[in-house]
Structures are given as C-alpha cells and as structure tokens.
C-alpha cells in the first residue's frame, strides 16, 4: 500500500522529487536531508516518507525506522564533523515549536558556548549544504569514516596536547615543511590544499606565497587543532586561507579544482593510502602538483628512537605496528610510497632523502626537552597507554639521561630522517 501523501506538504513533495532538497540518504520508510535553514553547521533532518502530522499519528514501525536512521546519521555527523556535542530533538504541535506538520527528527551538531535555538530563519549557503550532504552520505555509505580511529585519536587523545605544544612542535619540524614547500615552487594565484594542516602554520605560509590572488584550504581531522589554526590565520592577517574539518581520504573535493596538494607529515595516517591519493589526484587539475614530507624509519630518527628506548626501561612498549599500518612510519619505505602514488594515477614521482638536525622541544633546558617528549612522540604514547602516573618520574629520569649527550647551548639537537616526495597529475586528460 502506498504511503500517505499530502499535496500541500513540502516534505511530501521532497519525498516525491517535486521539490528540491540536499538529500543525504533514503530508504523504504525514511529520508534524510540537510535543514534548508540550519541553526548550526551540519543541521540534519530525518523525515518519514509517508505523511504523518506528528509522532502520535505515525505507526510504531515507522518511528522505529526513523530512530534507526537517526543513529546512523548521528555516527556520520560525529565522524565527519567531530562536533563537541549533538542535539537530537523532535517537536509535536505548534505549541511545542513544530513548523512543518510532517513527522521529522532534528540532529543538530553543537559547539561549546553556542546559544540554544530550535529554528533559524535564514537559508543556508546552497553550496555548503550540498557539500555536507555529500560528506554525510559518503560516511553513511561506509557506516563510518575509514579513518574513524584516527579521528578519535586526533580529537580526544593527541589533538589538545598538540595545541598546547604548538609553538614548540612547529619550531621543531618547520624546516622540513619548508624544504617540501620550496620544492613545489608555489607562485601567486595558485589554489592549494594543505592536507593534515594541524595548527595551521603551513597553511599560513602557503597563503603568503600564493597571494595576492591565490587561496589555500587547510583540512584536518582534529577539531582542536583547526580552532588553533583559525586563530593563527586571523592573528597573521593573511588573506585567502580557510580551514575545514575533513577526512582527505573521502572528502568530495571539487574535481580538477586545485593547482597543488601539499602536506607536512599529514599523509601517513590514511587507512587506505591508495584511495586517499586517488581522491587527492582527482582534485588536482591536469598537470597539478603534489608534494609532501614524511618520516623515514624510526632507526633513522634518533630524536624519537632514543627517548623511546629510554622509556622502555620502565614501560612495556606496544608491539611495533605492521609496516603499512597508519602511523608516523607508514610511508618509511620509498618503494611502497612510489607504488602507492603510481597506482593512484600520479606520475613523475620523485623521492629525495632529507637529513636535518632538529631542535627538540625548543632551544631551552634539558628538562624542557624531556617534558616535551613526555607529551609528544612514541615514548609519550606508550606512557599514556600505561595509564600509571607513578611511572612518569622514572620515565622522565631515563629520558633525561639519554638526552644529556645531545644537549648544548642551542638546546637538545638530534638527527632526523625524512623523505621529500613530489609527483603530479598527468597533463594529458586521457591519462588516469
């Protein structure tokens, strides 16, 4: 039997395709779409396909279907947008605030400090609504982002710490990012994507290089780091820089819209790197360039290896991950990097070693460097996972002894090994 329909109901017309909407998902009993006048970014509606004025009129099976869909949408919002919270509500009757008398459920992502509101009267930007619909649909199709574990890690575990340590971290790895940027030879007017932009230092640098008419989009999984990035760009008063909380592996970037894709240590964490680079290649115009810097193996990075071995005297270190598992050393094998990029359809792959002595944790005292390494790097992760506050002083003492030979007037200076990688999308449109 056909579902009930009301010719005067805008939601019914949307269900039948007679009115436009930014649809996310459809099934036998429900339809999910973006609210045309969103209260917050990502405000989504789950409606019944049949016309029921409110929850009192809707059959129990239909209400259950709406709840099931809403849970899937909620997971998609969480993995895609990483909001501070998610408000879910449903209104029955004008006195309760219902304005469209067709049963529907609101899912409203929320940030800390946002004023509470149920409705907005200003239509959302159509291009933004279309983008969000595509991203949520992609997340629902896969039931979760393929990088859901990394999303949780960079939002709940590491991201807030990296924000606190931002200036020290950026000072430490800035020279490596500049090497990769210099290799790309950016020019004014270019459109650039900064993958895994973190706290925004590289995005600001890129914005300066492509002005006056260029632009850069910084994307990252970590909401806390993106908040810091936006503040940094505002403080720097740069033009043409914007930021997006997005998973570059699956984000629907406009095809052939970019001149350059860049990353400073942001491409080693993809669950499926070939799929990620294929997605990034599609966003490049024909002839567009890719450049990034990634770590070589841990044995070639004493700044990580030495404190980790010192910490191992007091901690049970986790087993080393598989060589292709997401993590800082997933692209350590240059032949694997070349194979991934070529299978993703990129050409002219070049991989050059970069050996740089880094200043660890700022140019201060030995104790400052130790404190830094207790928060950042493999030893810090093992200490967090041990969840035993009593171990910290012993681990700190062991790391301090191990770093002492590297300390001098300029602070703790230790060797690092990375790859500077470049490639491009073929200029011939017939090439993959």
Annotated catalytic sites, by residue? 104
DSSP string across 74-110: HHHHHHHH--SEEEEE---SGGGT--S-S-EEEEEEE
Phi, psi of 117 (to 5 degrees): -155, 150
Which residues lie closer than 8 Å to 412 by C-beta, 6 or more apart?
A: 359, 360, 361, 366, 369, 403, 406
C-alpha 49/C-alpha 51 separation (Å) is 7
C-alpha 277/C-alpha 290 separation (Å) is 10
Q: Which residue, chain included where needed, has tokens 């993958």? A: 195
Structure tokens at 288: 């567009």
Which residues lie closer than 8 Å to 242 by C-beta, 6 or more apart?
A: 215, 216, 217, 218
Specify the 3-state DSSP secondary structure of 350: strand
CA angle 391, 360, 400 (to 5 degrees): 35
C-alpha 421/C-alpha 350 separation (Å) is 6
Residue 10 burial by Cβ neighbours in a 10 Å radius (0-12, 13-18, 19+): middle
Query: Residue 362 in contact with residue 411, Cβ under 8 Å?
Result: yes
C-alpha 411/C-alpha 21 separation (Å) is 58
CB atoms near residue 304 (< 10 Å): 22
Query: Residue 303 in contact with residue 358, Cβ under 8 Å?
Result: yes
């Amino acid at each position: 039997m056909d579902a009930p329909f009301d010719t005067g109901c805008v939601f019914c017309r949307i269900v039948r395709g007679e009115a436009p909407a930014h649809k996310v998902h459809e099934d036998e009993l429900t339809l999910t779409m973006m609210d045309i006048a969103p209260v917050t970014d990502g405000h989504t509606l789950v409606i019944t396909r049949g016309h029921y004025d409110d929850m009192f009129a809707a059959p129990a099976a239909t209400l259950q279907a709406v709840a099931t869909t809403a849970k899937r949408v909620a997971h998609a919002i969480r993995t895609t947008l990483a909001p501070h919270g998610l408000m879910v509500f449903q209104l029955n009757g004008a006195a309760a605030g219902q304005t469209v008398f067709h049963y529907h459920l609101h899912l409203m992502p929320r940030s800390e400090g946002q004023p509470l509101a149920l409705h907005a009267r200003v239509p959302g930007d159509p291009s933004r609504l279309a983008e969000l619909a595509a991203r949520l649909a992609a997340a629902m199709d896969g039931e979760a982002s393929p990088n859901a574990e990394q999303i949780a890690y960079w939002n709940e575990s590491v991201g807030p710490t990296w924000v606190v340590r931002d200036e020290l971290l950026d000072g430490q790895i800035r020279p490596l990012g500049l090497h990769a940027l210099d290799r790309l030879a950016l020019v004014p007017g270019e459109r650039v994507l900064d993958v895994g932009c973190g706290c925004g230092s590289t995005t600001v640098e890129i914005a300066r290089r492509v002005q006056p008419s260029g632009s850069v989009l910084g994307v990252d999984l970590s909401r806390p780091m993106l908040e810091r990035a936006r503040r940094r760009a505002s403080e720097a008063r740069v033009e043409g820089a914007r930021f997006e909380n997005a998973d570059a592996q699956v984000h629907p970037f406009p095809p052939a819209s970019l001149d350059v894709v860049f990353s400073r240590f942001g491409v080693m964490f993809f669950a499926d790197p070939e799929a990620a680079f294929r997605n990034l290649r599609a966003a490049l115009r024909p002839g567009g360039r890719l450049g990034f810097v990634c770590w070589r193996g841990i044995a070639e990075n004493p700044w990580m290896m030495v404190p980790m071995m010192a910490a191992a005297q007091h901690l049970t270190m986790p087993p080393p991950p598989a060589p292709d598992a997401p993590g800082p050393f997933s692209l350590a094998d240059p032949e694997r990097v070349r194979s991934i990029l070529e299978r993703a359809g990129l050409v002219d792959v070049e991989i050059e070693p970069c050996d740089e002595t880094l200043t660890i944790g700022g140019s201060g005292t030995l104790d400052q460097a130790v404190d830094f390494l207790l928060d950042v790097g493999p030893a810090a992760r093992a200490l967090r996972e041990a969840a035993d506050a009593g171990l910290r002083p012993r681990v700190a003492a062991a790391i301090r002894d191990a770093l002492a030979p590297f300390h001098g007037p300029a602070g703790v200076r230790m060797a690092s090994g990375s790859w500077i990688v470049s490639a491009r999308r073929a200029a011939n449109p017939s090439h993959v």
